[in-house]
Amino acid sequence: MQTFERRVRRVSAFAFSVSTFAVLTACSSSESDSSKSSVSTTGPSNTDATSNTDATSNTDATSDGDTTSSGGTATDGTGGSTDQGSVSTGMASGGAAGADPGCSVAVASHELDDPIHVPECSHIDYSTNPPSSGEHYPVWAAYQTYDFPVPRGYWVHGLEHGAVVITYNCPDGCPDEVAQVESIIGSLPIDPQCVAEGLDHQVMLTPDPLLDTRWAMSSWGHTLRANCINEAAFKEFYELHVAHGPEAICAGGSVLTEATLAPNCGE
C-alpha cells in the first residue's frame, strides 16, 4: 500500500513539474512575442519616412507657378512694344543721378501707319505727336543739327531708314538744353553702318513748333516724350531703336536750309 502511494506522489510531482515548465515556457514565448512586436512597431512607425510629406507637400516646387506668373507679368511689360499694331507705354521719373526729380519721361510704341510718299512740302497729318511712322516726302533730311524747324515729312522719311530724330519746343528758347543734347549725341558710340557715308550717327536734332511737350524722340514705331532732359533715358531710347526702320540704311540725305525750303512748307 505504501509502495502504491509513493508511485502516486511521484506521478503527481512529475505532472506538476511538467505543468510548471509549460507555463514558464508559454510566459517566455509571450514576452518574446511582445518584445518582437514592439520592435516591429517602432520600425514601421518611423512615420518620418512615410509621413515625409514635406517631400510631396513641398509646395515650393509647385509654387514655382508664382515665379512663372511674375515672369509673365514682366513679359507683358515688354511684349507689346515689339508686335506691330500693339501699344505699350512706360513711365520714368527722374532717372539719371542728379536729374531733376520733377523730370518725367514717357516711352511708347505705336501702330504703324502706311509709309507712303507724298509731294514735298504737302501737309501731312500724323497719328502720334511726335510722328513715329506714316506718309513722308520722297527726300529725307540729312542727319545733323538744325536751328530751324525741319518740316516733318522730311525727317519721317529718315525714321523709315532707321534714324532717331530728337525734337524740342522751347517757345522762349533753350540754348543750354540744346547744347546739352548735342553733347549727348556726340557721346553716342560710332555707328559702323554710317562710317562709310562719312557720318557718326543716324541722328537728327531739330526744333518743332508742333510738338506739345518740351522734348521728344522718334524712331520707326516708337516715341519718347519728356518735359526735361534725362540723359540716361535719351541714350537708352537711341540704343534700343536706332537702325530698326523697315529700310535700315544710313545714307546722307539732303542738307536743308531755310533759304531753300518753299514758303510755308508742310503747313
User: What is the Cα–Cα distance from 265 to 267, expressed in whole angstroms?
Assistant: 6
220 and 102 share a domain? yes
- Whether 169 and 233 map to the same domain: the answer is yes
Task: Tell me if 251 is assigned to some domain.
Answer: no
Residue at 253 is within a domain:
no
- Whether 203 is in a domain gets the answer yes
Alpha-carbon distances, residue 2 vs 10, 100, 222 (angstroms)? 12, 131, 131
Whether residue 203 sits in one domain with residue 122: yes
Whether 25 and 156 map to the same domain: the answer is: no
Classify residue 227: in a domain, yes or no.
yes
* Residue-level pLDDT at 252: 85
Both 148 and 218 in a single domain? yes
Q: Are residues 161 and 112 in the same domain?
A: yes
CA triple 158-160-164, angle to 5 deg: 55
- Considering the domain architecture, whether residues 135 and 218 belong to the same structural domain is answered as yes
What is the domain count for the chain?
A: 2
Closest CA to 228 of 85, 47, 100, 79: 100
Residue 93 and residue 52 in one domain: no
Can you give the pLDDT at residue 100? 64
The verdict on residue 9 lying in a domain is yes
On whether the CB atoms of residues 161 and 140 are closer than 8 A, the answer is yes
| pLDDT mean by block of 10 residues, the chain; 267 residues | 47 45 42 38 37 36 32 31 41 48 92 97 98 98 97 98 98 97 97 92 98 98 97 98 94 93 95
pLDDT of residue 51: 36
> Are 105 and 203 in a shared domain?
yes
Q: Are residues 17 and 126 in the same domain?
A: no
Q: Quick one: pLDDT at residue 9?
A: 53
* 143 in the same domain as 34: no
**209 and 112 assigned to the same domain:** yes
> Does any domain span residue 231?
yes
Backbone angles phi, psi at 206, to 5 degrees: -150, 145
Say if 252 falls within a structural domain: no
Please give the residue range of the domain that contains residue 159: 89-241
Domain assignment of residue 67, yes or no: no
